[in-house]
Structure 1
Amino acid sequence: MNVVLFDFDGTIADSIETGIRVINRLAKEFGYQPIDLEALKRLQNLSSREIIKQTDISIFKLPFLLRRFVGEMRQEVQQIGVIPGMKEALQTLKTRGDRLGIVSTNSEENVRSFLETQQLDPLFDVVVCSGRPFGKSRLIKRILRQNQLDPRSVFYVGDETRDIEAAKKSGVRAIAVTWGFNSSQVLAAHQPDFLIQTPDQLLDILAWSVQP
């Protein structure tokens, strides 16, 4: 049995376009430039930490922006779809007996609302969230500790370089997906254990990686 933890936005939820729209809606209030197509392509080739460094947003305003972003996304979450092929992959993993969870910087309210709308909530054993952009490793370590899990049987699946970083800090294996925010090039440069292009590739990786 594997334990498979997932990032939410861009990994399970097809929310990148909605997220950019919300970010641009808040641009004037928080004093940064809206993101156009050219800027988006540039950002997708930067690491999560590089994006924070290059933004016009004051580090002191960032927590307030994140709270506003999550609040705005609450109004959008029921209109967001699932990444194509992900629902089927999740259902297959659950049928195999794998334990599934979500570790996200979105709010638990938003995540659970999405799961309920998409009828995915029965698939997940745990949903944990933190408003800190780089706080996921602490959440993963807490799950490991509370459930007495062997890190070798745990995977973290995400679409950003910070997800790879969180997996490595936690001692679990990182599966990076190319259908979300960061480009395949910058994800590969951060050396995840696996880099996949489609949700069904998860099934092969996790079948091969089952611990005795």
Structure 2
Amino acid sequence: MPYRLVSFDLDGTLVDTAGEIAEAANRALENHGLPRQPVPALTLLIGQGAHALMRQLLGRVAPPDIDVAAVLASFDRHYTDTTGTLGAPYPGATETLQRLRAAGVQVACVTNKETRHTQTLLRCHGWTQAFDLVIGGDTLPQKKPHASVLQHAARHCGVALAEVAHVGDSATDVNAARNAGVVAWAVPWGYNAGQPILSAGPDRLFHTLPAVADLVLQENAA
């Protein structure tokens, strides 16, 4: 059966955003008298959305009476400034999206990043028209790894689950694909909490993004 929809995670899969997320987080910490944290430590927290990252971080470095809402508001202000400024797409990302769509394969961005930050990032990298569907972490009642997220993407795009592959960098992505009943593909360069992505058991590991398009086009031509 051909692949009619390929969905991609965003942070750590298509774009290296660790630096800009970490900088926004550290500025927010400084605003509230808390010490900056090293980027590698913050990178380990990426994957469930920026607010989830900040809540985990505050649980480690802040006093119990910290005003969490105020810190989150500070983060949002700073992340608006840093989004799209300190990171870059991984090699071949734009080419891969273009090749898939040119071949008639629908492409979705399915991320746990809040929608407003997702749209800012897509705009900064010239991707506002690159996807047939964009699902942020606050688009639906649930987010990855809940089964409903990728199932919603399939319904929206009018394809069967067997015709969908999801590409991500973390166990969250692999589990989202498994839960939804779609193919789970992975890349090894992202933010899987410091663990090798193969430990999550993806169906296939790709070492470049263009290799994703190569396989889809090859399979669809068979």
Range of TM-score over shorter length: 0.7 to 0.9
Matched, 1:83 2:90: yes
**C-alpha separation between the residues in 2 aligned to 1:125 and 1:13?**
18
Q: CA deviation at 1:100?
A: 0.7
Moved more, 69-78 or 86-95: 69-78
Q: CA deviation at 1:116?
A: 2.7
The answer as to whether partners of 2:167 and 2:185 remain within 8 angstroms in 1 is yes
Matched, 1:172 2:178: no
The answer as to whether partners of 2:23 and 2:82 remain within 8 angstroms in 1 is no
The answer as to whether partners of 1:32 and 1:57 remain within 8 angstroms in 2 is no
Output one character per residue of 1:123-173: Cα deviation in whole Å (capped at 9) or x when no partner: 2111111249x7223322222234442111111111121111111111111
**C-alpha separation between the residues in 2 aligned to 1:94 and 1:3?**
10
Alignment of 1:11-30 (within 5 A): 11-27=13-29
Q: Structure 1's 31 and 199: CA in aligned 2 closer, same or farther, altered over 3 A?
A: farther
Output one character per residue of 1:156-211: Cα deviation in whole Å (capped at 9) or x when no partner: 11112111111111111111111221279531011011112211211222224439
SS of alignment partner, residue 155 of structure 1? strand
Q: 2:80 aligns with which of 74, 78, 88?
A: 74
**C-alpha separation between the residues in 2 aligned to 1:190 and 1:94?**
28
5+ residue gaps, structure 1, are none
**C-alpha separation between the residues in 1 aligned to 2:39 and 2:84?**
25
**C-alpha separation between the residues in 2 aligned to 1:6 and 1:192?**
14
The answer as to whether partners of 2:31 and 2:74 remain within 8 angstroms in 1 is no
Alignment of 1:99-138 (within 5 A): 99-131=106-138, 135-136=143-144, 137=146, 138=148
CA RMSD of aligned residues (A): 3.6
Matched, 1:187 2:197: yes
Q: Structure 1's 164 and 66: CA in aligned 2 closer, same or farther, altered over 3 A?
A: farther
Q: Structure 1's 21 and 150: CA in aligned 2 closer, same or farther, altered over 3 A?
A: same
Q: 1:207 aligns with which of 181, 194, 217?
A: 217
Amino acid across the alignment from 1:24: N
- What does residue 144 of structure 1 align with? 154
Report the count of equivalent residues. 204
**C-alpha separation between the residues in 2 aligned to 1:10 and 1:159?**
6
**C-alpha separation between the residues in 2 aligned to 1:17 and 1:81?**
10
SS of alignment partner, residue 11 of structure 2? coil
**C-alpha separation between the residues in 2 aligned to 1:194 and 1:186?**
14
**C-alpha separation between the residues in 1 aligned to 2:190 and 2:96?**
16
TM-score, normalised relative to structure 1: 0.76
The answer as to whether partners of 2:5 and 2:154 remain within 8 angstroms in 1 is no
**C-alpha separation between the residues in 2 aligned to 1:56 and 1:117?**
27
Calculate percent identity across the aligned residue pairs.
25
